[in-house]
Amino acid sequence: MKVITPPSTTDHCYYQGHIQNMKDSSVSVGLCSGMRGFVRAENQVYLIEPLKKSLAGDHAVYKQEHLRTKRAAVQYINDTVYDLGPRFSGLYNSRNMVLGLIAQRFIEMVLVVDYKEYKKFGSLKDVQKRMLEVANHVDKLYRHLNIRVMLVGLEVWSKGDQIEVSSVPNLMLDRFLKWRQTTLLTRKKHDSAQFVTATDFDGSTVGLAPLNAMCSSRSGAVNEDHSINPLGVASTIAHEMGHNLGMSHDEPHCGCSSRSSQGCIMGESIGLVYPEAFSTCSKVALEMFLQNYDSSCLLDVPKEEDVYGGPVCGNAFVEKGEECDCGTVEECKNPCCNATTCRLTEGSKCAHGECCEKCQLKGAGGVCRHSAHDCDLEEYCTGKSAQCPKDDYKMNGLPCNYGQGYCYNGECPTLKEHCKKLWGPGTIANNNKCFISFRHIKCGKIYCSGGNDFPITREKYLSTFGAKTCYSALEIFDKDSVGMVPTGTKCGTNKVCYNNLCQDLSVYKTKNCSAKCNNHGVCNHENQCHCDAGWAPPHCDVKLFNVDHKENSKIQEKCRMWVFKIFYIASCYLVSCTCSTPSQTSAFSSKRSFKNTHTYSGQSNPVFQPSSAKNSPRCGPPRISQPTFMESTATQACKSLRS
């Protein structure tokens, strides 16, 4: 086996861009050994590659539909593991699609190349060049979603395969993901592992991936390098990675931009031309994944030293030795950054980040990330960095969702919401008769009733307790089972599920945690102080300099308003008590009681809460960290993933 580490000297020769003075155009090329890549002008795509054995440096330019493929006149199937319908009613109705650009995410990708692919290209250097071209194109496709795909590792099995490579896609996927979990993850931190093979998969399948698996132990895919041009396998990787991000195959009504008349990236099959855009359906599915699943790994910005190939000025990613990077000279619209040198312009203190405003650092105390839900905390600028501090959550064990649950690592898990996620709308958690141990009730397998006939895991288990029939979702794989009650779920008053046991909240070891924060902060989910605006960690006992006075004045104004409101309400209450007769007092109490009850009733349903309300719960089910598996509606049926 040969593990390629980032070389000390690298030719920075992979570029993305467009044709000058042509709006509807796109370019993705590598210039390391001649020019290789693609150029799109309006709806026509041209491929460029150097001619072999040409001493004069001649190149071939041909239309994409003339590209030689694995099988003539065959459309290749991009499969997903158990991509099962039906979709929830109205989910993809264009009237329901309110799409906005998501905050930037980063996918740290590792490419693993098998021995047959290595032998196909003959040398480590040639394999490396091809994989860098592949990674460059995948990154280009995901930039439209404000997601950067950063290559952080390339492993080439140049001395033999580390696992048995099979032509059966399902079997190959199972083997690769198990190897990733036991071996690769212990050696290299990453978000997604993509296996590239020269093995001809059975049938027309060229790729296979689990759905909703990103940020889990099963985040990855297997991909056949089925084309002479690297764009072929790059398109397949982009497609399979889309499945990891919750995107299903596009249905007929799912539309792309005009540039992709040849189809969308998540189309079920690949024709003779390669798509460049994600459909509106894919964008909606991505937003749902980010809301409902644990996608926290995508918020980690890759370390400069981890990016494969070293720093490149112009790739829109700030790396070692750079003060800023706003893309190429043509792309850059940032007045704070010199695109040619990747240095700050004269007088600028920053160019990127939530705490950078008009090329200057924002003062300490300004909110740079608002609280997103019941268990989230606001983050504040420090006055020393252009980047917002890492996302922290409320201390584990605090009540959430109006007492229905307790916060756990930024989530508010409940039995009801987990059942809904597994079985769909109309599902409820079954009563106590379905749970095995009375003491540790509701902390093992989760039993639900109602909803769909089958759970999202595709397999179910039926058991009978007297006259009661109980259903549970079966997971195809043993680890990370979504059929279990999530850790942190409420199982009683001041009790939560932890290690599949119903335990007291003291298991979180948070008692008196905030005492160390000197009355200027609270404990977060890591039992560390999360300081108030203007105070510095670790113990919130040092006041920050360069305080944002504008933000400070806003806070003071809010405080004054609240003091005034409290004083006004208290005054009205005292006047009412003084002036009322006993019967009037009784009537007033009755009205007051009715009003409180009404308010509580309205607040118990988060759907009726204004989205801007501070600490309001997110309107949707809690995120689930494990992947879900669904059956494919593709022409080629998927089998259960069993070795």
243 is in an annotated binding site: yes
Q: Spell out the residues 6+ positions from residue 251 whose beta carbon is closer than 8 angstroms to its own.
A: 87, 92, 281
Of 373, 369, 370, 353, the C-alpha closest to 361 is: 353
- Measured CA to CA in angstroms, residue 116 lies from 200, 203, 235, 471 at distances of 10, 19, 20, 45
511-518: Cβ within 8 A, 24+ apart: 513/395, 514/395
Helix (H, G, I), strand (E, B) or coil at 594: helix
Residue 324: alpha-carbon gap to chain centroid: 25
Q: Under a CB-based contact definition with an 8 Å cutoff, are residues 144 and 279 in contact? A: no
DSSP alpha helix (H) spans, 59-208: 115-121, 124-143, 169-179, 185-187
Q: Spell out the residues 6+ positions from residue 557 whose beta carbon is closer than 8 angstroms to its own.
A: none
Of 407, 472, 401, 403, the C-alpha closest to 436 is: 472
Q: What angle do CA 410, 416, 419 make, to 5 degrees?
A: 100
Of 270, 271, 213, the C-alpha closest to 236 is: 270
Q: Under a CB-based contact definition with an 8 Å cutoff, are residues 496 and 362 in contact? A: no
Name the token pair of 316: 């829109």
Q: Which DSSP symbol is given to 321?
A: T
Cα-Cα-Cα-Cα torsion 315, 298, 139, 359, nearest 10 degrees, comes to -30
Verify whether residue 526 is a known catalytic residue: no
Residue 618: alpha-carbon gap to chain centroid: 17
How far apart, in Å, do the first and last CA atoms of the chain sit?
Answer: 24
Q: Alpha-carbon distance 515 to 204, whole Å? A: 62
Give the active site residue among 133, 240, 323, 475.
Answer: 240
Torsion sign, CA atoms 246, 247, 253, 256 = positive
Compute the residue count for the chain.
643
Residue with tokens 């919130």: 540
249 is in an annotated binding site: yes
Q: Which DSSP symbol is given to 57?
A: -
Q: Under a CB-based contact definition with an 8 Å cutoff, are residues 134 and 233 in contact? A: yes
Q: Alpha-carbon distance 222 to 319, whole Å? A: 30
Query: Residues at the annotated binding site for Zn(2+)?
Result: 239, 243, 249
Supply the residues annotated as catalytic. Answer: 240
**Residues contributing to the annotated binding site:** 239, 243, 249
